[in-house]
Chain A
């Protein structure tokens, strides 16, 4: 049998459904791959070998009894460590939650289990999802399988790297400002941010509640769509969940894979043209646009004049919400408690716990958010940022009156070497320049590999109107059919 770790999720599911491979064999192959390469990649913070093998054995038993199983039954999946998994360590890559085992599952984890997928473990990330390089993990960075000296993107670098290293065929990420798409771009994998409210946030450790969106990571567009269909849909436990069914993303991906885009209008955002992007990234993007035109698509230039204000608005809104959300980490109900020697007051213990438990990027954002929300500055910063959010939403709405989807590179640059942007936080924030507008608007967006620059992957971003996730999957699959998938060098 060919190495199952090189197969797509759809292929693996087919093998299991026909009995050519057992779920236990598939899980074992992936666990063995993790054991062989993860000391170099460090995509995982925790590998749940026993749990994975038990879940796989359960799938095999159910199949043996002739039960009807879902389309991803028996397929392994890696889950970002910011998502609560019952009894399995969940740290958000922070020291403040070291060793915490949640007493409940996130809704999307419940859905993954119900679908018969096999959870391999928890993936590395920037602490509390704050970062663009996975260098801010309290447990050490993840290395990009394309070049171990470079960043795998962030904050979901572990999820993306686990795919590129063939440790898992599917992974779950969360996207607040680009944390699914940007790691997808720099590791040559597919990363999809669903419509905000299209996937449940119940059981996610909250960073910026009005922006956080969990979504699928995969090596092909069809696999991402299959995973999207499993985790998406209304959840009564999340008041921001949209009470509508998931659009037919799998059907759209399969339609796109036929390579016909006749009549589809693609909008190129004028304001994104060349802003801070590397020449190699722009070249790969332009070649991909030409490939889409050959498939029948029409390209229209559209203007979104307020997109240039998205990054500054985001860096006021996200830290403001974070400063409030992270107040719960006070050393009382869970996680670390520091300095409790019997003499110190609760307030002192809280301050010492938070100082010891949080890393530099988290502290920086808590302080920035506290400032933006404080009396005297609220109107100048947070209030203005919320108005910019209105302007960006209007830009999207008027653009989608003229075109079906918007397209851009996913990131302005390819994977950069470790340490090259940590000294200047604003330089690091530029990694999310093209991804942030959709988070402020709430619509879906996907990153698909579209070629190489200097031997490193470049991502192509497709943005769609809210709840039109199927549209982006169609275009993404068409692009994939034209340019193919990328294979990283052997580890």
Chain B
């Protein structure tokens, strides 16, 4: 299995929305490499004909009647928000000015 590079870790951090520092990049690249080498041997036994198990409880979709039930109030839902305005979550801008 190919080793994980520093650039790859930087790319994964961007995908995960993590602004990691240069120092963290160096550290994580080395550690992830050790972890991946240690876990790679699962490929030795997982043959083609073995079905995957995603979950230990066999699940079927369960539907309930579409009945209105009490939930959180607007105030409760917003109670932990870092910022709110007019009864809504306030977020930083999504588009740049030129977009």
Interface positions of A (Cβ within 8 A of B): 100-104, 196-197, 210, 236, 239-240, 242, 306, 309, 312-313, 315-316, 323, 327, 330-337, 340, 342, 344-352, 354-355, 358, 360, 363-364, 366-368, 370-371, 374, 380-381, 383-391, 393, 424-426, 429, 440-442, 466
- Once the chains bind, are A240 and B57 in contact (CB under 8 Å)? yes
Cβ of B43 within 8 Å of any chain A Cβ, yes or no, is yes
- Once the chains bind, are B92 and A390 in contact (CB under 8 Å)? no
Bound form: Cα–Cα A316–B13 in Å: 17
- Once the chains bind, are A347 and B79 in contact (CB under 8 Å)? no
Find chain B residues with CB under 8 A from A393 CB: 53, 56
Q: Which 4 A-B pairs have the closest CB atoms?
A: A442-B56, A334-B80, A386-B52, A337-B82
Residue interface bits B3-38, CB-to-A below 8 A is 1, else 0: 010001100111111111100100110011011101
Residue of A nearest to B75 (CB): A103
Chain A nearest Cβ from B18, distance in angstroms = 5
- Once the chains bind, are B31 and A381 in contact (CB under 8 Å)? no
A346-B94, A358-B18, A380-B1 as given contacts; A312 in contact with B42, CB under 8 Å: yes
Residue in B9, B20, B39, B54 whose CB lies within 8 Å of A210: B54
Cβ of B87 within 8 Å of any chain A Cβ, yes or no, is no
Cβ of B67 within 8 Å of any chain A Cβ, yes or no, is no
Chain A nearest Cβ from B28, distance in angstroms = 6
A345-B92, A345-B93 as given contacts; A388 in contact with B42, CB under 8 Å: yes
- Once the chains bind, are A366 and B18 in contact (CB under 8 Å)? yes
Cβ of B65 within 8 Å of any chain A Cβ, yes or no, is no
Chain B nearest Cβ from A37, distance in angstroms = 32
Cβ of B50 within 8 Å of any chain A Cβ, yes or no, is yes
A350-B17, A351-B17, A367-B12 as given contacts; A240 in contact with B55, CB under 8 Å: yes
A240-B55, A374-B12 as given contacts; A385 in contact with B92, CB under 8 Å: no
12 contacts between A and B (CB under 8 A): A309-B42, A312-B41, A323-B16, A330-B17, A340-B82, A345-B92, A347-B17, A348-B92, A364-B32, A368-B35, A371-B4, A388-B42
- Once the chains bind, are A391 and B50 in contact (CB under 8 Å)? yes
Residue in B12, B51, B81 whose CB lies within 8 Å of A370: B12
A309-B41, A331-B82 as given contacts; A366 in contact with B50, CB under 8 Å: no
Find chain A residues with CB under 8 A from B16 CB: 323, 354, 366-367, 370
Interface positions of B (Cβ within 8 A of A): 1, 4, 8-9, 12-21, 24, 27-28, 31-32, 34-36, 38-47, 50-57, 59, 62, 64, 72, 76-77, 79-83, 89, 91-96
Residue in A316, A346, A424 whose CB lies within 8 Å of B93: A346
Bound form: Cα–Cα A14–B3 in Å: 60
Residue in A352, A370, A425 whose CB lies within 8 Å of B15: A370
Interface of B, helix, strand, loop or mixed by DSSP: loop
Chain A nearest Cβ from B91, distance in angstroms = 5
- Once the chains bind, are B39 and A386 in contact (CB under 8 Å)? no
Bound form: Cα–Cα A358–B18 in Å: 9
A351-B17, A381-B39 as given contacts; A386 in contact with B54, CB under 8 Å: yes
Chain A nearest Cβ from B38, distance in angstroms = 5
- Once the chains bind, are A368 and B32 in contact (CB under 8 Å)? yes
- Once the chains bind, are A315 and B35 in contact (CB under 8 Å)? yes
Bound form: Cα–Cα A366–B29 in Å: 13
Chain A nearest Cβ from B56, distance in angstroms = 3
- Once the chains bind, are B52 and A349 in contact (CB under 8 Å)? no
Find chain A residues with CB under 8 A from B34 CB: 424-426
- Once the chains bind, are B92 and A103 in contact (CB under 8 Å)? no
Since A364-B28, A425-B35 are in contact, a sample of 11 more A-B pairs with Cβ atoms closer than 8 Å, ordered by chain A residue number, is A196-B56, A331-B82, A355-B20, A363-B18, A364-B32, A368-B36, A387-B47, A388-B42, A388-B46, A390-B53, A440-B56
Find chain A residues with CB under 8 A from B80 CB: 100-103, 333-335
- Once the chains bind, are A390 and B51 in contact (CB under 8 Å)? yes
Find chain A residues with CB under 8 A from B91 CB: 332, 346
Chain B nearest Cβ from A9, distance in angstroms = 29
Find chain A residues with CB under 8 A from B51 CB: 387, 390
Find chain B residues with CB under 8 A from A391 CB: 45-46, 50
- Once the chains bind, are A306 and B56 in contact (CB under 8 Å)? no
Find chain B residues with CB under 8 A from A240 CB: 55, 57, 59
Residue in A315, A352, A371 whose CB lies within 8 Å of B12: A371
Bound form: Cα–Cα A90–B83 in Å: 19
